Copies of this chain bind each other. A is one copy, B any other.
Amino acid sequence: MSNEKIPYKIYLEEKEMPTNWYNVRADMKKKPAPLLNPGTGKPMTAAELSHVFCDELVAQELNDTDRYIPIPEEIRNFYKMYRPSPLVRAYCLEEKLGTPAKIYYKFEGNNTSGSHKLNSAIAQAYYAKKQGLKGVTTETGAGQWGTALSMACSYFDLDCKVFMVKVSYEQKPFRREVMRTYGASVTPSPSTETEVGKKILAEFPGTTGSLGCAISEAVEAAVTREGYRYVLGSVLAQVLLHQSVIGMETKAALDKYGIKPDVIIGCAGGGSNLGGLISPFMGEKLRGEANYRFIAVEPASCPSLTRGQYLYDFCDTGKVCPLAKMYTLGSGFIPAPNHAGGLRYHGMSSILSELYDQGLMEAVSAKQTDVFKAAEYFARVEGILPAPESSHAIKVAIDEALKCKETGEEKTIVFGLTGTGYFDMVAYEQFHNGTMTDYIPTDEELAKSIATAPKLN
């Protein structure tokens, strides 16, 4: 099909929107390792998980056999408010790079949460409401997830309690204010509202917090309140399931124009965006129907796939959560203070970890000054100011396109543009002023933090 026929932006019609999520675990011969009870060392049962998570979400978490899970109508109606997201042909970027490659990006930033996180937030809020709960608790780092959950809870009239990593709470007052606009209560973490928060504060009085610590607080706040459950914005299988809507739409849009991608690229922190984007394509690869290259891009300052170890670890600093088998830097890992934006979690989705371990996916890391260089370049050429997280994917997409320029190959590159950087201007300012620095942890530092993983491995 000729280029002329492919518009700048491919929008699916409402009737073409996915009605099912795709569960990639169903097509994996070797399944991801189960969550373990840290006390017994045995797989977590549905009953155990239901103290923390909503019942239907527990069922989704444990379901590794059903390929398709229907998206409830209430969620599909909410999706219609901000989805389908456009699949954009980056004509301007291609021209500027002078590459024969064809570049597409799935842009998830055109909603008030500013990222793809809303796809899972609305699903989790829906199931909480359906179960008759009063509210949910969660943590947020850079703020996208907290914002998304606030929006979702406001829609279903649920109480929303967000523990926000203290350094972000202080540096991103506007994010906090958006959450308040949607009626959420936002507490800087670690806080004195929880026992685990108090304990961490006593041990590390000056700490600016971490995602792992905020998770511990949010879980405690959920299990100690009547009518509350905890929700998480990444890492879990259920989240990747909800995020598969990204990949389903991407595939439908490409199929509509008969386009077959060669390489699919996504940034990876906990794995929700990457997992969602690649899922249906990975399904084809697992079933032997097609072949694709998948590239996970992570920050050099938080390199769980490229420099972590594949073992059972705690999901949180306070060690109140189940154990997950994943590529991890150890739950004691905290990214250097100069790390901007998200992608700061110490571990990686068990699903992606297993796929990576099986050699079905590649991973690379990128330095943040290189990432911001790509971000600014992209903003000027394609007109969208990208989030720091998304810019990891941009960086590697540009690298791949430049390789095509050298070889003359007309590859089709698809990447996930997960969100916008409107709340990340402090980092952009550092980049403009030349005060942004890179930090790559030493082998010794990583060995030390990985040693915080439990000894059962």
The answer to whether B154 and A380 touch across the interface, beta carbons within 8 angstroms, is yes
Contact among B380, B383, B425 for A183, CB-based, below 8 A: B380
Q: A180 to chain B: which residues have CB within 8 Å? A: 428-429, 432
Using an 8 Å CB-CB cutoff, how does the interface string of A58-96 with B read, 1 for contact, 0 for none? 000000000000000000001011100000000010000
Given contacts A13-B7, A110-B110, contact A81 B425 (CB under 8 A): no
Q: Does A337 contact B (CB under 8 A)?
A: no
| Nearest-neighbor residue (CB-CB) of A12 within chain B | B11
- Min C-beta distance of A143 to chain B, whole Å: 12
Closest to A78 in B: B383
State the Cβ distance, A369 to closest chain B Cβ, in Å: 15
The stretch among A171-179, A199-207, A447-455 that forms the contact with chain B is A171-179
Given contacts A92-B81, A383-B151, are A422 and B423 in contact (CB under 8 A)?
A: yes
Contact status of A112 and B178, CB under 8 A, knowing A8-B14, A13-B7, A81-B382: no
Chain B residues with Cβ below 8 Å from A426 are 174
Inter-chain contacts of A8 with B (CB < 8 A): 14, 80-81
Q: With the chains together, A428 CA to B112 CA distance in Å?
A: 14
Query: Does A420 make an interface contact (CB < 8 A)?
Result: yes
Measured CB to CB, the closest approach of chain B to A372, in angstroms, equals 10
Interface residues of chain A: helix, strand, loop or mixed (majority): helix
When chains A and B are docked, how far (Å) is the Cα of A334 from the Cα of B385? Answer: 32
Q: A36 → chain B, closest Cβ, in Å?
A: 38
**Across the interface, do B112 and A181 meet the contact criterion of CB distance under 8 Å?**
no
A32 to chain B, nearest CB (A): 33
Can you list 26 A-B contacts (CB < 8 A)? Answer: A7-B14, A7-B80, A8-B14, A8-B80, A8-B81, A11-B11, A81-B92, A81-B383, A110-B110, A111-B384, A112-B384, A112-B385, A112-B420, A151-B383, A173-B429, A174-B426, A178-B422, A178-B425, A178-B428, A180-B428, A180-B432, A181-B379, A181-B432, A182-B379, A182-B380, A183-B380
10 more contacts with CB within 8 A, not counting A173-B425, A180-B432, A181-B376, are A8-B14, A111-B383, A111-B384, A112-B379, A112-B384, A112-B422, A174-B174, A177-B428, A181-B379, A182-B379
Question: Sorted from nearest, which 4 A-B pairs have the closest CB atoms?
Answer: A174-B425, A8-B80, A7-B14, A177-B425
